[in-house]
Chain A
Amino acid sequence: MKIAFFPGCMVDMIYPEIGIAAVNVLERLGCEIEMPEKIVCCGQGLINSGYREENKAAARMIVEAYDTPEYETIVSLTGSCMNAIVNDYPLVFKDEPEWLERAARLKTKFFEFTDFIVNELGVTDVGAVFNDTVTYHKSCHVTRLLGVKEPPLKLLENVKGLEYIEMAHADRCCGFGGTFSFKQPVIAGEVVYEKCQTIIDTGANVICGADVPCLMNIKGALGRMRADGRLDRDIRVMHIAQILDSRG
């Protein structure tokens, strides 16, 4: 199956290994992956901070890159960026009918990574082997705003050697919230420390998720908690793609 890939800018900037893992998984499943060159960021940090007008340039770039007849199916590795594209771009472009129409067209072509594998490819066992205890953070944008609830859990269920332990309030926000975590670091810190505590309480060695920004936030907080003694063991933070790419 021919697909276009949307990695999200954090994958390009900070976590290339997540993108590589996802490409491996999709290629093993027979996907012919293409990726436009002229992409940077979806720009959601702008509109979420109130800068709607300023979000237009980034939004136009994404629409221009992906709204082409060659791309019938687009797979997004990041839930919150995909949510911005499919659910927020109509607001960004509310006074620009032409772009609004193009954004609406994109909406029908976009699929979240795990949703694509389970519901479009019809695969729940990707042949992964991962011998460890894992808990999964149900990111707000993936779970609540895109409505992708079952697919990641089905995929984890079929990973050999993986022992899944559900954390309490798995669908509670990690406190990232884009610029919120810079503008309100104290509040964001409280929220993510509590999230981390629920992760720690599972006893799992690995926390995974399907949204990159949340993982960055959780990793940063676990690192800080490890440094100041609130956490006395190493917990690995992984994207679900990395687990699905694992062969034991």
Chain B
Amino acid sequence: MSILYDTDKSLKERVAASLDDDFKHNAIKTAQEVFYVGRGKLVAEMEGWEDLRRHAVEVRNHVTENLDYYVKKFATNAEANGYIMHYAPSGDDALWEVLDIFEEHGASYAVKSKSMMTEEVGLNEVLEETGIKITETDCAENILQTAGSKPSHIVVPALHFDREAIADIYRKKRGYEGTTVPEEITHYLRKILRHEFMEAEVGIRGCNFAVAETGSVTLVTNEGNGRMVDTFPKIQIVFVGIDRIVPDLESLDTMMALLPRSAVGAKMTAYFSLDSGPAGPGEIDGPEEVHIILMDNGRHTLANTEFEDMLRCMRCGACLNICPVYRHITGHGYGSIYPGPMGLVLTPGLVGYDDIDNMVFACSLCGACSEHCPVGIPIHDLIREHRIKIVEEGKNHAIEVPIFKALELFWSNVPVYKAGMVLGPPVMKALAGGGDALDASSAWIPVVKGWTSTRDFDVLSTKRFTEWFKNHEKLPTEQPKQNEEGGEQ
């Protein structure tokens, strides 16, 4: 399982580690502001943004509702373009297909551009175990690979390292001798990576959208490395999730209007590749043999469930960039390669509830994610839906059940509530040492300590509003000033 990582640590421990890392904490916060401001500006100045969103929802739902049809259509047309198709129901199936391709060609050297699907199946680890050298060529992914670190964001995965840390990683691991000036580090990377592009036998890449009508695969990048991965090596492997399919070029256009704006607050990316087949006869550029791994890995089972809307997700990360929790705990707090709001829906959707700790409870259900999602996924509702499923399936913590059962009674039974409100206030007042709030010294009280460990807790009032209301004298009406539109409606 490569979706989850750091599973030996609890959510609490991972969160504590993220909060302890001041640089990481601040870097994520700053990045959120930058992306958020950029996105906000573009969305505000773009006419028809909401229409685009609606269209995208229609397009994506249409594909989900007819998933088998579009998978087949894409596969048929891609094959007609000269692509060699492999259908992988699971991540393991995908890995076997890849290993077979390497074996068939006796290949042992690959370059790769950023791809979440390959992360999802743990491709790098498996290839390395079999003695195949694989180099990440996306700058951030290369930093992570060199450092042995995990992504902290789905779009900008190495946010948690600053230039000093990055220079240090290359000094220690690769013998880099330069300064911490970003341009110098980049030049160094460019130099070593050029070699690798030329030498590698296989290029491995992902696919942002696959176009069913034309059998094409697309690649959206900013650094140009992706284009070298997809043109230099003679053999190419493209990972395509079955939820990446769009019907035609027109719908691709809609998605491409939404993606970069939502992801990084840019109108477009530096590179956009639309590939429709390997190099043809007489063409001097491009790969000679291209394999498409069309991977399901749990996506089909999400269709026709409460979580079907998640199949619309295009991995833009807009929900991460607005999330008030993600900004503090960072991607590493979640312990999933899919972090943040979208991750809280997708991760348990793909791996189930047994190994995810309390992950889906690391959310205040504020709804900012749902509001910003370009494809209208009701993300926070789906996060709560996971909580409901966890309880329904009995995978909640046994220790909390009596507490919620007690709340069920207290919140729905007037006599019990009234009795509680007779006993509660004096007890709390006593616990508060006669004060108006339970302060830090009360952090030993079970359940309440959840709150008082970080905030004061106002004590229950001895005066009850409902009692006051029954006996109060009604105030006389005053003549209000009406607003311009005026009048009672």
Q: Which residues of A contact B (CB under 8 A)?
A: 1, 5, 7, 9, 11-16, 18-20, 23-24, 27-30, 33, 35, 37-41, 43, 45-55, 57-58, 60-61, 118-127, 140, 144-145, 154, 158, 171-173, 175-178, 180-194, 216-217, 219-221, 223-224, 227-228
Contacts and interface: CB of A to CB of B under 8 A. Distances in A.
Contact of B450 (A52, A126, A182, A219): A182
6 contacts: A30-B480, A33-B469, A50-B391, A54-B404, A144-B371, A180-B365
Given A40-B412, A58-B411, A50 B483 contact: no
Given A181-B450, A220-B451, A123 B480 contact: yes
Given A122-B486, A223-B439, A227-B439, 13 more contacts: A7-B465, A7-B466, A16-B464, A33-B469, A49-B404, A50-B389, A50-B391, A51-B391, A121-B480, A171-B368, A186-B15, A188-B454, A189-B453
Smallest CB-CB A-B distances: 10 pairs: A177-B364, A189-B454, A50-B387, A220-B455, A182-B450, A173-B366, A57-B412, A41-B411, A223-B456, A19-B465
Contact of A13 (B404, B421, B469): B421
Nearest to A191: B324
Interface in B468-485: 468-469, 472, 474-478, 480-483, 485
Nearest to A228: B440
A125 B417 CA distance: 37
Given A52-B388, A121-B488, A227-B440, A184 B361 contact: yes
B413 interface: yes
Contacts of B475: 24, 27-28
B214 interface: no
A204 B238 CA distance: 56
A184 B483 contact: no
Interface in B43-102: none
A57 B405 CA distance: 11
Given A13-B460, A54-B405, A122-B485, A40 B410 contact: yes
A40 B329 CA distance: 35
Interface size grouping (class) on chain B: 35 or more
Contacts of B9: none
B450 A183 contact: yes
Given A48-B384, A177-B365, A188-B364, A220 B458 contact: yes
Contacts of A158: 481
Contact of A190 (B19, B371, B391, B481): B19
B16 A186 contact: yes
Contact of A144 (B368, B386, B440, B455): B368
B406 to A, nearest CB: 10
Contacts of B281: none
Given A183-B358, A191-B328, A48 B365 contact: yes
A173 B466 contact: no
Contacts of B461: 13-16
Contact of B366 (A11, A28, A140): A140
Given A29-B480, A58-B411, A191-B325, A140 B454 contact: no
B354 interface: no
Given A54-B405, A185-B450, A219 B469 contact: no
B159 to A, nearest CB: 18
A5 B466 CA distance: 11
B108 interface: no
A242 B326 CA distance: 34
Contact of A16 (B15, B365, B407, B463): B463
